[in-house]
Amino acid sequence: MLELRDLNVHYDMIHAIKGISLTVEKGEIVTLIGANGAGKTTTLRTIAGLKKPTSGSVWLNGQDITETTPRQRVQMGAAMVPEGRHVFSEMTVQENLELGAYLRRDKEGIAQDMEMVCGYFPILKSRRKQTAGTLSGGEQQMLAMARALMSRPEILFLDEPSMGLSPLLVSEIFAIIKTINNAGTTILLVEQNAGMALSVANRAYVMETGSIVLSGTGAELMESDEIRKAYLGGS
């Protein structure tokens, strides 16, 4: 469903992504893990169209989308929950959700999805009229996820959804990621919290300083000594 072919991305002189390739099949949860600064966010921003690669290509559903705008990618069924949530802080929860459905015209479908996301995150329903900036970190994460779902994406990119949340909230968020996936949405999950990510993922890629250094099924990587040492704090 999603494929990166030999992608290179630069920030001026910094070679942030060094020729990575990866695939995500329909229905999967794939996770991209790695330490801070490895290039995970840059990868997702390139997939979403916010950053232009210097070379290589991004493919969605068999189409080369490297030259398309973020808007076209949303239209093609891709949605992203960016690192740090990026909710529209001065707008209400309701308005944030409406903006998630910005490109849709089917009023009824939008209303249905509004119900659906409020089912996933009941707290949002009671906060509808509040501005997003007044929500707690966890609530903002939920809003950012709900907002992305409002475009009815086929594939959802999540950038560190667990960042800054209590362990309890992290479990809750991950359970919902599972639910969203079971409902048919393919997921590419970027995480530093490798343990959590590997436990929900079908497959995983490990990134180090701009390159993919390891890949395999979630279970395989969980067993791998390197991973346990580097990312799971085990020995």
Ligand X SMILES: Nc1ncnc2c1ncn2[C@@H]1O[C@H](COP(=O)(O)OP(=O)(O)O)[C@@H](O)[C@H]1O
- Which parts of this chain interact with ligand X (CB under 6 A)? 11, 14, 16, 34, 36-42
Contact by Cβ (8 Å): 116, 176: no
Using rule CB under 5 A, residue 41 touches Mg ion: yes
Phi, psi of 121 (to 5 degrees): -125, 80
Residue 63, C-beta contacts closer than 8 angstroms, at least 6 positions apart: 76
- Pick the closer one to ligand X by CB: 113 or 159: 159
Q: Which CB atom, from 155 or from 190, has the smaller least distance to ligand X?
A: 190
Name the residue nearer to other proteins (CB basis): 78 or 221: 78
Question: Residue 85: phi, psi to the nearest 5?
Answer: 70, -50
Task: State which of positions 86-125 bind other proteins (CB under 8 A).
Answer: 86-91, 95, 98-100, 102-103
Binding mask 45-84 for Mg ion (x = CB under 5 A): --------------------------------------x-
Task: For residues 206 and 201, give the distance between their C-alpha atoms in angstroms, rounded to a whole number.
Answer: 13
Rounded distance, CA 228 to CA 40, Å? 19
101/221 with CB nearer ligand X = 221
Q: Contact between 147 and other proteins (CB under 8 A)?
A: yes
Conformation bin of residue 46: beta by default, left when phi > 0, alpha when psi is -120 to 50: alpha
* 48 contacts other proteins (rule: CB under 8 A): yes
- Of 83 and 154, the one with the shorter C-beta distance to Mg ion is 83
CA distance 100 to 107: 13
Of the candidate residues 80, 146, 149, 222, the single one contacting other proteins (CB under 8 A): 80
Angle at 47 between CA 43 and CA 49, to 5 degrees: 115
Under the criterion CB under 8 A, does residue 55 sit at the interface with other proteins?
Answer: no
d(CA 203, CA 189): 10
Could you tell me the strand order of the sheet in which 203-208 lies?
78-81, 155-159, 186-191, 29-34, 203-208, 211-217
- Residue with smaller CB distance to ligand X, 99 or 214: 214
- Binding of Mg ion by 43 (CB under 5 A): no
* Beta carbon of residue 114, minimum distance to other proteins (angstroms, whole number): 15
Q: Residue 100: which of ligand X, other proteins, Mg ion, none does it interact with, CB under 5 to 8 A by kind? A: other proteins
Interface with other proteins by CB under 8 A: which residues? 48-50, 69-71, 74-75, 79-80, 82, 86-91, 95, 98-100, 102-103, 147-148, 151
